[in-house]
Structure 1
Amino acid sequence: MTYGVIGVVGELLITLGVLLFAFLVWQLWWTDVIGNRAQAEIVRELPFEPVPTATATAGADAPAGPVIAPPRRDEPPVMAEPPHATTFATIQVPRWAGEPERPISQGTDRATVLDVLGIGHYEGTAMPGGVGNFAVAGHRTTFAKPFNRIAELQVGDPLVIRTTDNIWYVYRVTSTEIVRPSNVGVIAPVPNQPGAVPTERMITLTTCHPMFSARERYIVHGVLDYWAPVADGIPAELVGGA
């Protein structure tokens, strides 16, 4: 092989390396930048009622601040399943301190939901507050990686859902597991019991595992603790409560 050929091959390898590096920067960093901006804008545009705040009164020790919503454990309202790619709710996870409120939209395909809107709702599963399994999916890396910190969740942690019907639903984590992608039973109405009739109001979060791989799925299950109208205040869990 002549020096000229070696030089051409070397230049091609350098160019390939530069292109690969540029792709990695785009995939692992720039998609997060764009995704975070887009998801923040989606949340800002949702038709949410303002959370009521308490005003300080003369002589009172308590400062002004958000009103804490009294938990309700009666039959919750449940919205109808919306059209595909419609954003109908958000999720906030106190365990993930510093993470923004993330939008939840109908569907789980990458092209129209997960890569562009954020978290996706498995069509046909329960809606927030409904009997059955409210199952959602999100990226663990890239495209704003809304479920990047999913492995930090612990049993008892709150998962706070707010819908465009202006209802809070506070779920509590009950378990986690790692499964193969073919194990679709995790999003069944009764998780891992296909065909069973549900009696509880559950939530399931799914994402890829391990990090930067789609070999398995990391799963978090939870159950509804309580609900409250946004007009009644904000869940205590979002202002430092249990």
Structure 2
Amino acid sequence: MPEHAGPARSVVRTVVQVAGELLVTAGLVLLLFVVWELWWTNIDADNAQQRAVATFVRDASGPVAPVAAPGPASGDHGAPVVAAEVNTPGTVLGVVYIPRFGKDYNRPLVDGTAPEQLNTLGLGRYESSAMPGAVGNFAIAGHRQTHGAVLDAIHTLVPGDRIYVQTRAGYYTYVFRNNEIVLPTQTDVLLPVPTRPGARPTERFLTMTSCNPRFGSAERIIAYSVMEAWRPASAGPPAAIASLVAATRAKGR
């Protein structure tokens, strides 16, 4: 056997050992990144979102129990007041309640859909879209599996589900109609009448957008709703979310 065979084997063994250790280290780093992305970002964002919700509800005016409208039509509060525009990304505009996602589900609604907004506060309004209560398309976006996973259950909505939006003006109730899967390039879902270029809106739409599938981003899932009712802040929240609004205000004190 050549005299250099022993040292050569030693070098190969060392290279293999180092390569193996590097692969193990890379695997651990990747695992830690996945844990951080799918677990820690949700905890961190959820804490920030609940603080924002509690602060907004605490500072909002009006009772936390429903108050009937005056007159014979006790459910008629007149034409909806359109929420005031702020045009300042990151500003909390209101709170979104979706009972289908859980009896305690409430998330802040902020202006803007950049990572700075969605990664921290969850649900962001497309700045080119309408405000809550306006005729046209009020469109919002949110993550499914990270940073609070605010729209993780978007695929579970069924026709007739209610989505409640609270602003300083009052409460808007939207009724879910249908969803569809589109490519990320299909931005016509954000038009005043979704997917209908040039059409003049006559209804008040809510369009929610998120990534699809749940652990990917090759597509977008779009959930369409239309406004059913409105209550001014002075009338209190709809009965379906009154207990949650009351509990949330108590947390903010």
Give the TM-score, by structure 1 length.
0.88
- 1:80 and 1:239 map into 2 onto residues whose CA distance is 23
Cα distance in 1 for partners of 2:195, 2:82 equals 24
Could you say which residue in structure 1 is the equivalent of 2:112?
A: 107
> Take 2:197 and 2:239, find their aligned partners in 1: how far apart are those partners?
35
Q: 1:16 aligns with which of 1, 19, 26?
A: 26
Change (3 A) 1:125 1:222: same
Contact 2:62/2:235 (<8 A) preserved? no
The structural deviation recorded for 1:15 is 0.5
Query: 1:237 is matched with which residue: 215, 240, 246?
Result: 240
Corresponding residue SS for 1:2: helix
Deviation at 1:99, TM superposition (A): 4.5
Describe the superposition over 1:79-124 as per-residue Cα deviations: whole angstroms up to 9, x where unpaired.
23212221111110111124431001111111x2100121000012
**Which residue number in structure 2 is paired with residue 124 of structure 1?**
128
User: 1:233 is aligned with what amino acid?
Assistant: G
Helix, strand or coil at the partner of 2:29: helix
Matched-pair contact (CA < 8 Å) for 1:169–1:226: yes
Could you say what secondary structure the match of 1:199 adopts?
coil
Q: Aligned match of 1:220 in 220, 223, 229? A: 223
Moved over 2 A (4+): 49-53, 66-74, 236-240
Which residue number in structure 2 is paired with residue 62 of structure 1? none
1:90 partnered with 2:91:
no
Find the aligned partners of 2:31 and 2:68 in 1 and give their Cα distance.
48
Give the secondary structure class of the aligned counterpart of 2:200: coil
Cα separation, 2, equivalents of 1:193 and 1:146: 28
Structure-to-structure mapping, 1:163-242, within 5 angstroms: 163-165=167-169, 167-238=170-241
Which letter maps to 1:189? Answer: P
CA distance in 2, matches of 1:79, 1:146: 22
Q: Which runs of 5+ in 1 are unaligned?
A: 54-65
Specify whether residues 206 and 71 from structure 1 end up closer, same or farther in structure 2 by C-alpha distance, changes over 3 A only.
farther
Q: How many residues align?
A: 226
Q: Is the 8 A contact 1:73 1:225 kept in 2?
A: no
Normalized per residue, which structure has more helix?
Answer: 2
Counterpart of 1:51?
63
Residue 5 of structure 1 aligns with which residue? 15
What do you get for the CA RMSD once the two structures are aligned? 1.8
C-alpha distance in 2 between matches for 1:108 and 1:138: 8
- Map Cα deviations across residues 43-81 of structure 1 (whole Å, 9 max, x no partner): 11112235344xxxxxxxxxxxx6577533632101232
Give the deviation of 1:214 after TM superposition: 0.8
Corresponding residue number in structure 1 for 2:146: 142
Unaligned runs of 5+ in 2: 1-10, 244-253
Q: Distance in 2 between matches of 1:197 and 1:102?
A: 31
Indicate the SS of the match to 1:143: coil
| Partner SS state of residue 137, structure 2 | strand
Larger radius of gyration: 2
| Change beyond 3 A, Cα 1:71–1:209 | farther
User: Which of 50, 67, 79 in structure 2 is aligned with 1:40?
Assistant: 50
| Secondary structure of the corresponding residue to residue 91 of structure 1 | strand
